[in-house]
A and B are shown apart, each in its own frame.
Chain A
Amino acid sequence: AQKVTQAQTEISVVEKEDVTLDCVYETRDTTYYLFWYKQPPSGELVFLIRRNSFDEQNEISGRYSWNFQKSTSSFNFTITASQVVDSAVYFCALTLNDYKLSFGAGTTVTVRA
């Protein structure tokens, strides 16, 4: 069985600070896919990134960056120079077959002006 752990329940930062969200996963399979989703106050889950288990390259997209380390089974997410609009709940998820997602409990990020 797969498991995703997001140990941080809530993080509060002041605007322009960097914030890193931790995600640790468990699976015995060698092929899997990892995701990050953002849930703004409007409620819908917004897709941020998908990585497969064979691609350990870190990725940067604007102020967002992701650090995938298979050695520690982690897929951490960093928001650089945070803004108030980044306030949301962020979910890390894992799937073996690209269909059924297993989510972590989510981390609530509050960015104060």
Chain B
Amino acid sequence: EAGVTQFPSHSVIEKGQTVTLRCDPISGHDNLYWYRRVMGKEIKFLLHFVKESKQDESGMPNNRFLAERTGGTYSTLKVQPAELEDSGVYFCASSQERTSGSHEQYFGPGTRLTVT
């Protein structure tokens, strides 16, 4: 079974440009999460999808960030326009529904975003 995949693995863009990150969760996982780790600090929660609906987006830093999960499968996270402080590693994770008994969030390898 394929794990959580993220694309690209690394992106370097200039301040003011737009970048779109993609996450493909494990097949059948209704829950999808985005997290971010900036400059060696804590990994911080950004948002949580249940299928195509945003369940919790309390961690989204500002309106330059837009996450979508059309059709409840893969998700994209767009940053527009990018700022220097957006640099970091963006992780995606997925998990099954609670009723299945599994609570584990499976993480992808992350996308390293560098804004210059």
Q: Which residues of A contact B91 (CB under 8 A)?
A: 45
Q: Which residues of chain B come closer than 8 Å to A44, judged between CB atoms?
A: 3-4, 107-110
Q: In whole angstroms, how far apart are the Cα atoms of A62 and B107 in the complex?
A: 23
Q: Which residues of A contact B104 (CB under 8 A)?
A: 47, 50
| B14 CB within 8 Å of chain A | no
Considering the complex, give the chain B residue whose CB is closest to the CB of A104.
B42
Which residues from chain A contact B98 at a C-beta distance below 8 Å?
98
A37 at the interface (CB under 8 A from B): yes
Q: Interface on B for A, CB 8 Å cutoff?
A: 3-4, 31, 33, 35, 40-45, 48, 55-56, 58-59, 89, 91, 93, 98, 103-110
B42 to A: closest C-beta gap in Å: 5
Q: A44-B3, A99-B55, A99-B56 are contacts. A37–B42 as well, Cβ < 8 Å? A: no
CB-based nearest A residue for B59: A100
| Chain A residues closer than 8 Å to B59, beta-carbon distance | 100
Q: Please give the distance in Å from A35's CB to the nearest CB on chain B.
A: 8
Query: Could you show 15 A-B contacts with beta carbons less than 8 Å apart?
Result: A4-B42, A37-B107, A42-B109, A43-B89, A43-B109, A43-B110, A44-B3, A44-B108, A47-B105, A99-B33, A100-B33, A102-B45, A103-B43, A105-B40, A106-B42
